[in-house]
Amino acid sequence: MTKKCLLVSPDFPPPLIGGSLVYVSTLVTNTQNSFDILTGFKKNNKDEITESPNKIIRSSFIANSMNPSRFSLIKMYMCFFFLIPAMIFRTSYKVIIANAGVIGNSILIFLGKLLKIKVICISYGEELNAPIKSKSVKNHIKRNLIKFFYKKGSGFIVVCHFCKNLLTDKFGIENDKIDVIASCLSLEKFSENLSISKKKNSILSVGRLIERKGFHLLIKSVLRLREKIDNLTLTIVGQGPLEKSLAKIINENNASSFILLRTEIDDKNLKLIYETSELFVLANHELRNGDTEGCPSVFSEAMFYELPSIGGKYAGVETAIINNENGLVVNMKKDSDLDEAIVKILENEAMKDNFIVNGKKKLLRDHHPRVVGKQFEKSIERFLNDKPATGFQKKFNSSTPSINI
């Protein structure tokens, strides 16, 4: 039976930028439930309501998550107290899906209790890990909000087992209140395979140009390996605050002929680069303040385009890459580990082919939009009715052992 749901999320496509946006939009658009989506501005800075097919309500009160000011965040949190009740009284929502960060989600859980409506929170991991690892005042506040309010939430959708373990082991959330739904491929961006031959010894890395993605580590690895691997190349695709510093490393090492930094690229050309690359690498690692990856959707994209993957042994990457099955998971704190993993895959055709086959199977089993959409639908149903996990979801929730955090 179709249910009317309210999604509260500071960001919602278009544009479709970033793994978390791919994740939440795929969950919403691949379910039979009907959603009203309360979100922030696009670039035109105008309040607007669109139907496509879900109703998207863009409000000046909702802070976009890309470098929001303190004032805009306070305005958004205050807005929740009068806008959310007004929307609930006007429309008979069955549930609120909260995708508004720790503080926003805590307020929505509080309002849910007040208004007697269930609240299901979405979590990617980084917003949970930082309050544990960082001793700043802001993260101390967030840590206490999670401990107090999250226990009162109706359910949690998390992108990886790392997130689930944080909620259960560090914050005391009941195990059966959490469903793991893996990151997924965006069929909007990747709807066809172009079947173009791959360029030998070509590495691709895609993501926002920020420290935890480890692009500087990957560049240095390629510089070290150029003497060992013939015609080794690297293409980095993304935008972000580290663009100038990464370009400086490339230029200082006279590497612009074999390391390409692409900051402006459309979906068609991104598909082409995926299609012609031979190996995908994300040198992600955990920062001192606890900032880390969830379960990056770029690994799903790599599986779709038949690229074996290498990722950092941190957070939720091991939900996407099963070590020695569809790629390699390595310790990015040791330069030699990343170097050895790159050489191991590029020089072993049998291993590469095996990773590609297993990656395709995993993509269809765990990361396809229709699969995650159906899981999301079932999770909403069971959290609304306070039912235990059964079948596939019970198996997937427990398929990865507890991670040492």
pLDDT in tens, 200-220: 999 999 998 999 999 999 999
Locate the domains of the chain by residue range: 4-184+368-397, 202-366
Which of residues 177 and 295 earns the better pLDDT score? 177
CATH topology match: 4-184+368-397 vs 202-366: yes
Query: What tokens appear for 80 in the block?
Result: 């929740």
Query: What string of H, E and C letters represents the secondary structure of the chain?
Result: CCCEEEEECCCCCCCCCCHHHHHHHHHHHCCCCEEEEEECCCCCCCCEEEECCCEEEECCCCCCCCCCCHHHHHHHHHHHHHHHHHHHHHCCCCEEEECCHHHHHHHHHHHHHHHCCEEEEEECCHHHHHHHHCCCHHHHHHHHHHHHHHHHCCEEEECCHHHHHHHHHHCCCCHHHEEECCCCCCCCCCCCCCCCCCCCCEEEEECCCCHHHCHHHHHHHHHHHCCCCCCCEEEEECCCCCHHHHHHHHHHCCCCCCEEEECCCCHHHHHHHHHHCCEEEECCCCCCCCCCCCCCCHHHHHHHCCCCEEEECCCCHHHHCCECCCEEEECCCCHHHHHHHHHHHHCCHHHHHHHHHHHHHHHHHHHCHHHHHHHHHHHHHHHHCCCCCCHHHHHHHCCCCCCCC
pLDDT attached to residue 404: 39
Q: Taking residues 376-388, report their average pLDDT.
A: 92
pLDDT attached to residue 392: 53
pLDDT attached to residue 188: 59
Q: Taking residues 340-361, report their average pLDDT.
A: 96
Q: Which of 5-14, 53-62, 154-163, 384-393 has the lowest mean pLDDT?
A: 384-393
CB under 8 Å to 287, separation ≥6 — which residues? 211, 212
Query: What tokens appear for 94 in the block?
Result: 């069955």
Q: Taking residues 78-97, report their average pLDDT.
A: 92
Question: What CATH number was assigned to the domain covering residues 202-366?
Answer: 3.40.50.2000
Question: What CATH number was assigned to the domain covering residues 4-184+368-397?
Answer: 3.40.50.2000
pLDDT surpasses 70 at 51: yes
Picking from 350, 338, 198, 222, the residue whose alpha carbon sits closest to that of residue 278 is 198
Measured in residues, the chain has a length of 405
pLDDT attached to residue 2: 67
pLDDT attached to residue 335: 87
Question: Across all residues in the chain, what is the average pLDDT?
Answer: 87
